[in-house]
Amino acid sequence: MKRTVRWTIRYSLLLIVIILVLAPVGAFRISPPLVDKYATLGSKLWWTCSAIDTAPSSQVSIQWKFGSAVLSSDSRRTIFSNGTMYIPVVQRDHLGEYTCVATDSQTVAESKAWLR
């Protein structure tokens, strides 16, 4: 009986340690997920990406990609630190697949959608 109790306690503690090590700390998700947008050429476009974090103390950064290229603010678009992207005049070469990427020190979450 004593052997069974020791074995159970030892392996139960090992399982708890494994769960604690593998459990994500500060897990988050992009919410709501991006959905395809339809824009008229020449119009303005506002697109927001938000990450909901289960550990509010972590620092989540958001970036936008067009295809595989990471976007930054320039004369054709503005990327705000809150995850919003603004295109003042939609042009044909803006059309395509966009990805919102949210990251912290341990987690990466992505959401993709098309601008058509």
**CATH number of the domain within which 60 lies:** 2.60.40.10
Q: What is the pLDDT of residues 60-89, one digit of tens each?
A: 899 999 999 999 999 999 999 999 999 999
pLDDT for 106: 84
Q: How many domains does the chain have?
A: 1
In a domain, 42, yes or no: yes
pLDDT at 6: 57
CB 53 within 8 Å of CB 87: no
pLDDT at 104: 86
pLDDT score, position 58 = 73
Residue 15: the pLDDT is 43
Instruction: Give me the residues of the chain with pLDDT under 50, please.
Output: 13-23
Positive or negative, the Cα torsion across 53, 58, 62, 67? Answer: negative
pLDDT, position 26: 55
Residue 79, in any domain of the structure: yes
Q: What angle do CA 108, 97, 73 make, to 5 degrees?
A: 75
If residue 11 lies in a helix (H) or strand (E), which one and from where to where? helix 2-22
